[in-house]
Amino acid sequence: MSEFDTTSGGRLAWLLSEGSRLRRDGNPTAAEPLLREAVTLAEQDSHDQPARIAGSLNALGLLCKDLARYDEASALYERALDLLQSVASGHAPDIATLYHNLAGIEHARRNYAAGEPLARKGLEMRRWIGRDDDAALAADLVALAAILDGQRKFDEAESLYLDALRILEASPNANAAEIGVALNDLGAQYVERGRFDRAEELLVRASDLKARRLGARHPDVAVSLNNLATLHERRGDTDRASALFGEALQIVESALGPNHPKTVDCRRNYERCLAVNSRM
């Protein structure tokens, strides 16, 4: 799809495609005007096509989540869900994805108990649909597992991660970034449970995969570096930990700004580790 298709539908498809690409590449500032225009255009010109409007609302919702504007993201997903549920049928996979995304907002807010039923509903729908969208099913499993981890329901979460990784590693539809998220989250769980050797292997794989797929300065890479730093800190290697915490902080601060929750968490980790180091 390119910008030279000047029909309204062509323009909308280009805005969504380019805005979503910029968002995935970790450039939310450039993505925002495109995705806002997409919503405006879809609402003006696609009254008879609720899926188009829902697609635009969802794309902007994903961006708002990345920017930690959780109330706005949640409202956009709810509007998309209402639209798709108001039409006869045929949108079950997208409705499952919207439940997944609403659960993601609660995960980001650390309201894990509120996110769990939404994530379970999305996963249940995906399984009921029964189509061969294995990458989407695996993404649902990982998303629910992360919410269970937040409630320290580690055994069920571990089983979901392992199922997801089996699916993703066998799927031609899966991309490296999705596998990277599953490896990161399972690695983080193993850090929490003190299984440091296995955690290190997973987190190194996660950060390498994400760096190859998304670029070394992408905020998703910083998440895995932060987790790897936590692992070294808990092993007592605070020199190595502080270097990795510092690298993660630089990446998220540059990509997301100084006040984003991920930046705040990474800074707190870095400063705590430096303080421990200075007392040694």
Residues binding another protein (CB under 8 A) = 1-4, 13, 16, 20, 54-55, 58-59, 62, 65, 80, 93-94, 97-98, 100-101, 103-104, 107-108, 131-134, 136, 139-140, 142-143, 146-147, 149-150, 171-173, 178, 181, 184-185, 188-189, 191-192, 220, 223, 226-227, 230, 262, 265-266, 268-269, 272
> CB 249 → another protein: shortest distance, Å?
12
> Given the complex with another protein, which of 10 and 37 has the nearer CB atom?
10
Q: Which of 25-41 are b and which e, b meaning 16 or more Cβ less than 10 Å from the residue's Cβ?
A: ebebeebbebbebbbeb
> Given the complex with another protein, which of 46 and 58 has the nearer CB atom?
58
> Given the complex with another protein, which of 178 and 247 has the nearer CB atom?
178
> CB 43 → another protein: shortest distance, Å?
17
Instruction: Tell me how far CA of residue 98 lies from CA of 56, 70, 95, 119, 166, in angstroms.
Output: 12, 14, 5, 10, 24
Comparing CA positions, the residue from 188, 280, 186 lying closest to residue 239 is 280
Q: Residue 114 carries which DSSP code?
A: H
> CB 246 → another protein: shortest distance, Å?
16
Q: End-to-end CA distance of the chain, in Å?
A: 58
> CB 33 → another protein: shortest distance, Å?
19
> Given the complex with another protein, which of 37 and 51 has the nearer CB atom?
51
> CB 262 → another protein: shortest distance, Å?
6
Rounded Cα distance, 252 and 264, in Å: 9
Q: Which of 115-152 are b and which e, b meaning 16 or more Cβ less than 10 Å from the residue's Cβ?
A: bbebbbbbbebbeeeeeebbbbbbbbbbbbbbbbbbee
> Given the complex with another protein, which of 43 and 94 has the nearer CB atom?
94
> CB 166 → another protein: shortest distance, Å?
14
Q: Which two tokens stand for residue 240?
A: 């190595």
Rounded Cα distance, 70 and 103, in Å: 11
> Given the complex with another protein, which of 41 and 188 has the nearer CB atom?
188
